[in-house]
Amino acid sequence: MLELRGKKVSDGIKEYVSKELETLTFVPKLAIVRVGENPDDMSYERGATKKLKSFGLDVASYVFPQDISDEDFKKAFKDINEDDEVTGILLLRPLPRTINEKDIENMIDPKKDLDGISPINIAKVFAGDTTGFSPCTAEAVIEVLKAYDIELTGKRVTVVGRSMVVGKPVSMLLLKENATVTMTHTRTVDLKKTCSDAEIVITAAGRAKMLNSDYCGQDAVMIDVGINVDENGKLCGDVDYATLDGKASAATPVPGGVGTITTAVLAKHLIQAAKMR
In the complex, the residues that contact ligand NAD under the rule CB under 6 A are 137, 160-163, 165-167, 184-186, 188, 191, 204-207, 210, 225-228, 258-259, 262
We find the least distance from the C-beta atom of residue 161 to ligand NAD, in angstroms, to be 3
For ligand NAD, the closer CB: 68 or 104: 104
The H-or-E segment that residue 192 falls in is: helix 191-196
Closest CB to ligand NAD among residues 38, 163: 163
E-strand stretches of the chain = 2-3, 29-35, 58-64, 88-91, 156-160, 180-184, 200-203, 221-224, 228-229, 235-236, 250-251
- Helix 136-147 with 6-23: angle, nearest 10 deg: 110
Closest contact distance (angstroms) between CB of 84 and ligand NAD is 29
CB-nearer residue toward ligand NAD: 165 or 274: 165
Residue 46 marked as a ligand binder:
no
Q: How far is the CB of 166 from ligand NAD (least distance, A)?
A: 4
CB of 142 to ligand NAD, least distance (A): 13
Q: Count of CB atoms within 10 A of residue 79's CB?
A: 11
Measured CA to CA, the distance from residue 66 to residue 47 in angstroms comes to: 21
Using the minimum distance from each CB to ligand NAD, give the nearer residue, 68 or 226. Answer: 226
Least distance from ligand NAD to the Cβ atom of residue 79, Å:
27
Instruction: Please tell me whether 161 is known to bind a ligand.
Output: yes
- 131-157 burial, b if ≥16 CB within 10 A, otherwise e? ebbbbbbbbbbbbbbebeebebeebbb
The answer to the question of whether 163 is labelled as a binding residue is yes
- 147 in Cβ contact with 12 (< 8 Å): yes
Residues 208, 213, 216, 220: is their CA dihedral positive or negative?
positive
**Whole-angstrom distance, CA of residue 216 vs CA of residue 198:** 8
**169 in Cβ contact with 121 (< 8 Å):** no
Of the candidates 31, 35, 36, 65, the residue with the CA atom closest to the CA atom of residue 48:
31
For residue 25, the minimal CB distance to ligand NAD (Å) is 31
Q: Pick between residue 78 and residue 185 the one whose CB is nearest to ligand NAD.
A: 185
Question: Was 162 annotated as part of a binding site?
Answer: yes
- The binding site consists of 161-163, 227
- The binding site for NADP(+) consists of 161-163, 227
